[in-house]
Structures are given as structure tokens and as C-alpha cells.
Amino acid sequence: MNKEYYIMAINEEFGCPAGFYHSVLAKDFEEVKADYGYNPWYAGPKRYGGTLPSLPEKLILMEKNEYNYDVRKGADYFYVISAGFARCLPEIKHNFSEIKRVDCVDSKGIARNTRDVFIAIPKKFKAENCLDISKSKQISPRGVEYESLHFKEDLDFDIFDIVNISSSQASLICSEKAKKIFEDHSIRCVKYIPISDINASMQSHMSELYKPVGFYDPV
């Protein structure tokens, strides 16, 4: 029997709005207002010979608003996770290559002492390494949107993301095991969209642009 997988999406609660996440990850507050986009966690591995260097010893996360996400994509190459989410990870098999605690500040550089955050760097999977390509159908020739997603039967990761998949379709994908652990640990602001439901919904939209089951915003 094929395992069930879920797209992790934003469940809007207090401090967890959908839409743009106003934040900057930088070496210090001065860099927040400078050209922070050249940093590896924004620029990506190609600029650094194919592999991201380790995170520096000192980092800050500036959040413009008072967010309370347990997990949120900061940019293509990092996620912001809470202490509670970080405590779940030893119980599951994940594709984060580095997890580091960082200081969180507001838009004035004042510490948010009530928010304990970590940066998680994913080692993204190539589509051919996790998807059953014979069953998974692409919508666009660039390969960033899919009519359906079918995973290899021997895939044993519980949380991961995929290189070049459209950010409007998916970011983190988790297994049934991970979903249960997150729910048992009361991870907030996440709803779980079954991949099987999305695949079924696409059958009547084969020739149209990607249409999920209702609207959802990936974490």
C-alpha cells in the first residue's frame, strides 16, 4: 500500500497569517537594510559551487510583524521553525542538513524574547530521486508544477521538499507519521492537504493551469 503524504499549508491562526512572510535572515541588524540577498541562504548553492556553506556563528532573524508560526519558509533555501517543531525532528527522518538557533528581533532591532526560533536548511530532493516519474505528470515544461504527485514506494523520509517545485503548489511535504507527531506535539498554524486529494482534484483540469482543492498557502 502506498504511503499517504501531505502538503503542509498555512492554517491561519493568531500570529499566523497567510501571504507574504515579512522577515530577513542576516548576520546582524545593519545587514537587514543592506543587500542581504547575496548571503548563501538566499542566493542558493549554485553561487557557492553547488553546496551551501555552513551557517555563520552569529545570525539574526528580523520579523516585521509579531508572527507565531511553528514552521514557515523564509526563502527557497531555509525554513524558520520554532523550538517545539525542532523537538519533533529527532522522531522523524527529515532532509534538513543544518538546524541552528538564531536571535529573533523586531523591525527596530529589539529582541523578541518570547520567540525562540531556529533556522533549518533543507537538502532538497531532485524530483527523479523521490517521485515516481512514470506516474507524476508535469503541467509546465519547466517542470515546476504538477498535475499529480506520486512518490516512490521506497521513499522513507517523513518530511522533505523538492527542487524547483512551484512555491504555490508545495513547500514542505510530510508523511502520515510526521503529521501524527506534529499533531501530538500541538504544532500550530499548519493544515495538512492530502496529496491524494490534490491528485484526484486535477483529473478534470488536465488542460488548465494548476488548480488545487480550494485555496491553500504552503508553509
What is the reported pLDDT for 205? 44
The answer to whether residues 131 and 165 belong to one domain is yes
The answer to whether residues 137 and 92 belong to one domain is no
Average pLDDT over residues 59-86: 96
The answer to whether residues 93 and 173 belong to one domain is no
| Domain carrying residue 148 | 5-9+125-205
The answer to whether residues 146 and 54 belong to one domain is no
Spatial separation of the C-alpha atoms in residues 89 and 102, rounded to whole Å: 17
The answer to whether residues 115 and 148 belong to one domain is no
Q: Are 18 and 219 in contact (CB under 8 A)?
A: no
The answer to whether residues 82 and 114 belong to one domain is yes
The answer to whether residues 104 and 140 belong to one domain is no
The answer to whether residues 28 and 83 belong to one domain is yes
Judged against a pLDDT cut of 60, whether residue 161 lies above it is answered with yes
What is the reported pLDDT for 201? 58
Whether 167 is covered by a domain: the verdict is yes
Last residue of a domain, one of 122, 155, 184: 122
Judged against a pLDDT cut of 60, whether residue 136 lies above it is answered with yes
pLDDT band with cut points at 50, 70 and 90 for residue 142: low
What is the reported pLDDT for 213? 55
Average pLDDT over residues 33-50: 86
Structural domains of the chain, count = 2
What is the reported pLDDT for 139? 75
Judge if pTM exceeds 0.85: yes
Average pLDDT over residues 28-57: 89
Spatial separation of the C-alpha atoms in residues 65 and 86, rounded to whole Å: 22
What is the reported pLDDT for 65? 94
The answer to whether residues 106 and 25 belong to one domain is yes
What is the reported pLDDT for 113? 86
DSSP character string of the chain:
-PPPEEEEEE--BTTB-SS---EEEESSHHHHTS-GGGSHHHH-GGGGTTSPPPPPS--EEEESS----SEEEEETTEEEEEHHHHHHGGGS-B-EEEEEEEEEE-TTS-B-TT--EEEEEE-PBPHHHHB-TTT-EESSTTS--EEE--B-TT---SEE-BTT--TTT-S-EEEHHHHHHHHHTT--SEEEEEHHHHHHHGGGGTTSS---SS---B-
The answer to whether residues 170 and 105 belong to one domain is no
Whether 216 is covered by a domain: the verdict is no
The answer to whether residues 22 and 118 belong to one domain is yes
Last residue of a domain, one of 102, 122, 142: 122
Whether 169 is covered by a domain: the verdict is yes
What is the reported pLDDT for 188? 95
Whether 101 is covered by a domain: the verdict is yes
What is the reported pLDDT for 140? 66
The answer to whether residues 129 and 200 belong to one domain is yes
Whether 155 is covered by a domain: the verdict is yes
Whole-number average pLDDT of the chain: 88
What is the reported pLDDT for 216? 84
Average pLDDT over residues 62-67: 95
Whether 112 is covered by a domain: the verdict is yes
Judged against a pLDDT cut of 70, whether residue 209 lies above it is answered with no
What is the reported pLDDT for 202? 53
What is the reported pLDDT for 204? 46
Judged against a pLDDT cut of 60, whether residue 207 lies above it is answered with no
